[in-house]
Amino acid sequence: MFGDCQVMSNMGGNVVSSDTIYSLPIENPSFNFMSSMPFHTLSPIISKEGNGLVMPGKEEVESGSGCEQLEEKSGNEEESSEQPPKKKRYHRHTARQIQEMEAMFKECPHPDDKQRKRLSHELGLKPRQVKFWFQNRRTQMKAQQDRSDNNILRAENESLQNDNYRLQTELRSLICPDCGGQAMLGEIPFEELRLEHARLREELERVCCIASRYGGRPIHPMVPAPAFVPPSLDLDMSMYSRPFPESLGTCTDMMPMPMLPEGPEPSSFPEPGIVLMEEGEGLAMGLALSSMDELVKMCHANEPLWITNNENGKEMLNLEEHARMFPWPSNLEQNSSDMRTEATRDCAVVIMNSVNLVDAFLDANKWMELFPTIVARAKTVQVIKTGVCGASGSLHLMYAELQVLSPLVPTRETHFLRFCQQNVEEGTWAIVDFPLDSFHDNIRPSFPLYRRRPSGCVIQDLPNGYSRLTWIEHAEIEDKPVHQIFNQYVYSGMAFGARRWLAVLQRQCERVASLMARNISDLGVIPSPEARKNMMRLAQRMIRTFSLNISTSSGQSWTALPDSHDGTVRIISREITEPGQPNGVVLSAVSTTWLPYPHFLVFDLLRDEHRRSQLEVLSNGNALHEVAHIANGSHPGNCISLLRINVASNSSQHVDLMLQESCTDQSGSLVVFTTVDVESIQLAMSGEDPSCIPLLPLGFVIVPVEPSSSTVSEGNSIQSNSEDGNGNGHNNSGCLLTVGLQALASTIPSAKLNFSSVTAINNHLCNTVNQITVALSNTTTSSCLDNGNAAGSCNEPTAAPKQQV
């Protein structure tokens, strides 16, 4: 499988062959497989002499002692009258003389007589020559400064003229919203007109929406008059959206080999111009109520709306029945001929009450922290309506980018409206998301096209701070091909389905409970509850950084290595300047491999520091010893560990440490780790803010892949495109292992990568996957021999028990 990957000798040791390593020494906080890299620094574009603002050659002519030559001529008038006129001779200063006078000019542009005499004596020139050279130099400097000032003033003048012309044009184009004629400014207060216009339009749209719901047919409001907008310098910014910046090499902080400035969370969100105008708030509230009604019914309904697949026992949405029960307003429908529908439902119990859950869902930052592996970016663009009492009745305009932890699956970007409502009689909360782009024209479509149909959850409080959630994920996605190795994972609904959302939420709620607990006795050197919280926050940031760095979030464009196995290896380089990660150039490599083993079996191998230290490519032959342990979940694999790397170079003054977090749930498993120094750990444990500690995490993502269905009924929402075992898909159960490696290639942001660095990290990636595969094969073989090939011991491992709801 990995025959084309050559194992690097002494990979991870102290020295690596110079043929595949960079020529400049670097530090790699997580691995030593690249101890130096050949970076080619950029040659200077402007020579050092060019900074003197003097043209070569011209200065030498102008700096000649012209007056002295005139004096020589006047002192020999008699001879010149008798002799034929001779060509004027100009004295050219030597390079050393010019260099010395330039240095003197930088220190003192107006030297006195003593300084001129001293300088003329040192350079072998006359004082008058030095004097005239300085005069000419000052004249040149003044002329250049005047030209620069003129250019600046000319540009400012043109800008003012353009602004004046634009304002005059806007004033002339103002129209009356009632009669459509020329607006007469000054007769009626402008603010009163705007408020009255917005109030009447909102009332009209609300009445039309209510009539459409109960009349059975859509009723359109009157054709609106041209937009009534106050004259402002920011008209274009308030009315039109700005697309995501695709500079930085077609991505925001990562790119295919070109360098880009970093910032794992760059502020490349949509511009504030994407807002819902007051005229559309009435329509949005009407859609919010109908979407909430649809969500609640989808949570409680069974057949014929939800049909159970006899082959795998999964529920599937009957699209025909759904269209009959919930007709979407015809004036809001979009062409969905090229769209594929995904719809899933699941239920679970989490250890968090409804009030905290609702607060987290309505706060974009808390929402990202609650789903760090799913929500890459999120922002509350506009709070359209606040709750009457608490959060009930809140309506927010939001943006989100959803991700799968692999560069082989594109992210899904969407603008949507989020509505929250409390049912006091039933003691439940409901949160529904419904699409905004259906009736808002100023939103730039994402790629692939993604529209979030009414989705969300119904929350019911249980005793002891628990909650029961019923989750609905319903969306339309452009039917674009997915990489063959992720084909079944995406088309089965596991990638962005309700099961994954709830599984991550369960695990994160247990983590939050562990973070707030004070009666937990942790193993190791953690001195206080505050130090424990800081360690957990540091590990949470490590998980989020790793998730962002191995996906396609923020428009990151990865480069595929053509000679990689199965074409799954992707390479990217990033230029990091923001705090939180080591500054410089970071080279990342990610590979995904299908393994015929249960995902928990792979997870147990990789999370165990003793077994992982046996993999030479990961441990560099060094043993790992756990010095601190924090349990953050009911599963023993959900924990944070501080490991000491036992190497020969360790001493009482220098100790190498590794921070590791492992987590697992029904949707998959994650093992992430990074090397840290003792000073950083002491800083975190002393109660200081750990956000400044630089982290460069590496890790593994393991997701289960279920057997594909052979047939799918026509009209079902989820269709499996997996092929047979010899094709692109995988019919057999197993898991997908994604390995993400990162290396600090150089601390110089302007450094350029050499192809040998790519070869080195690719070889290390191949060796890592190869050793993991061999270790799993040996583990499975020994387990089968120990159990005597008992039924279900090897080929059909017993799945983890499903939580009863």
Q: What is the 3-state secondary structure (H, E, C) of 150-187?
A: HHHHHHHHHHHHHHHHHHHHHHHHCECCCCCCECCCCC
Question: Which residue, of 516, 533, 550, is where some domain finishes?
Answer: 516
Q: Is residue 447 part of a domain?
A: yes
Task: State pLDDT tens for residues 550-608.
Answer: 999 888 889 888 777 677 899 998 888 888 888 888 999 999 999 999 989 999 999 98
Average pLDDT over residues 763-768: 88
Residue 308 and residue 419: Cα distance in Å, rounded? 30
Same domain flag for 563 and 666? yes
For residue 259, pLDDT over 70 is answered with no
Same domain flag for 543 and 496? no
Residue matched to tokens 């530090």: 27
pLDDT score, position 595:
93
Same domain flag for 543 and 638? yes
pLDDT score, position 430:
96
Q: Is residue 289 part of a domain?
A: no
Task: State pLDDT tens for residues 133-170.
Answer: 999 999 998 999 999 889 899 888 888 888 887 787 77
Give the rounded distance of the alpha carbon of 601 from its chain centre. 30
The answer to whether the beta carbons of residues 718 and 492 sit under 8 Å apart is yes
Domain that holds residue 313: 301-326+338-516
Q: Is residue 70 part of a domain?
A: no
For residue 730, pLDDT over 90 is answered with no
Residue 774 and residue 602: Cα distance in Å, rounded? 12
Same domain flag for 676 and 583? yes
Tokens of 73: 């001529």
DSSP letter assigned to residue 75: H
The mean of the pLDDT values for the chain is: 74
Average pLDDT over residues 262-271: 44
Q: Is residue 403 part of a domain?
A: yes
- pTM of this structure: 0.65
Which pLDDT band, with edges at 50, 70 and 90, does 672 fall under? very high
pLDDT score, position 225:
41
Rg (CA), the chain: 35
402: buried, middle or exposed (CB in 10 Å: 19+, 13-18, 0-12)? buried
Which pLDDT band, with edges at 50, 70 and 90, does 356 fall under? very high
* Residues 739/744/750/756 CA torsion (nearest 10 deg): -70
Work out the number of other CB atoms within 10 angstroms of the CB of residue 781.
Answer: 11
Residue 641 and residue 535: Cα distance in Å, rounded? 10
Question: Could you give the angle at the alpha carbon of 752 between the alpha carbons of 747 and 755, nearest 5°?
Answer: 115
pLDDT score, position 215:
55
Q: Is residue 15 part of a domain?
A: no
Average pLDDT over residues 409-436: 92
Residue 547 and residue 553: Cα distance in Å, rounded? 9
Residue 543 and residue 699: Cα distance in Å, rounded? 9
Same domain flag for 512 and 530? no
The answer to whether the beta carbons of residues 415 and 496 sit under 8 Å apart is no
Choose from 88-102, 234-248, 490-504, 768-782 the range with maximum mean pLDDT: 490-504
For residue 332, pLDDT over 70 is answered with no
DSSP output for 662-692: EEEETTEEEEEEEEEEHHHHHHHHTT--GGG
Question: Which residue, of 145, 171, 197, is where some domain finishes?
Answer: 171
Choose from 61-70, 151-160, 168-177, 404-413 the range with maximum mean pLDDT: 404-413
Choose from 266-280, 410-424, 609-623 the range with maximum mean pLDDT: 410-424
- Where is 30: in which H helix or E strand? none
Residue 654 and residue 520: Cα distance in Å, rounded? 30
Same domain flag for 312 and 458? yes
Q: What are the φ and ψ backbone dihedral angles of 395, each rounded to 5 degrees? A: -135, 115
pLDDT score, position 640:
93
Percent of the chain's residues with pLDDT above 70: 66
Same domain flag for 565 and 664? yes
The answer to whether the beta carbons of residues 650 and 677 sit under 8 Å apart is no
pLDDT score, position 213:
57
Choose from 297-311, 325-339, 742-756 the range with maximum mean pLDDT: 297-311
Residues in CB range of 134: below 8 A, 6 or more apart = 101, 105, 109, 110, 111, 116
* Prior bond of 448 cis (ω within 30°): yes
Average pLDDT over residues 282-297: 89
Tokens of 407: 């560069």
Query: Where do the DSSP E strands lie in 218-323?
Result: 306-308, 315-317
Question: Which residue, of 483, 516, 549, is where some domain finishes?
Answer: 516
Which pLDDT band, with edges at 50, 70 and 90, does 76 fall under? very low
Residue 765 and residue 746: Cα distance in Å, rounded? 19
Same domain flag for 636 and 506? no
Q: Is residue 719 part of a domain?
A: no
DSSP output for 696-711: --EEEEEEEEPPPPS-
Same domain flag for 624 and 676? yes
Q: Is residue 772 part of a domain?
A: yes
Residues in CB range of 167: below 8 A, 6 or more apart = 231, 233
- Taking Cα atoms as reference points, which of 338, 337, 315, 448 lies closest to residue 716? 315
What CATH code is carried by the domain that includes residue 773? 3.30.530.20
Same domain flag for 510 and 531? no
Task: State pLDDT tens for residues 438-478.
Answer: 555 566 667 788 888 999 999 999 999 999 999 999 999 98
Task: State pLDDT tens for residues 700-712.
Answer: 999 998 776 543 4
Lowest mean pLDDT among 369-378, 685-694, 782-791: 782-791
Same domain flag for 383 and 469? yes
* Prior bond of 56 cis (ω within 30°): no
Percent of the chain's residues with pLDDT above 90: 29
For residue 274, pLDDT over 60 is answered with no
Lowest mean pLDDT among 98-107, 515-524, 551-560: 515-524
Work out the number of other CB atoms within 10 angstroms of the CB of residue 365.
Answer: 11
Task: State pLDDT tens for residues 154-213.
Answer: 888 888 888 887 787 777 666 665 565 656 555 556 667 767 777 787 777 767 766 665
Q: What are the φ and ψ backbone dihedral angles of 476, each rounded to 5 degrees? A: -115, 130
Residue 548 and residue 539: Cα distance in Å, rounded? 14
For residue 630, pLDDT over 60 is answered with yes
Q: Is residue 752 part of a domain?
A: yes
pLDDT score, position 279:
57
The answer to whether the beta carbons of residues 461 and 427 sit under 8 Å apart is yes
For residue 679, pLDDT over 60 is answered with yes
In total, how many domains does the chain have?
3
Residue 116 and residue 122: Cα distance in Å, rounded? 10
Same domain flag for 440 and 586? no
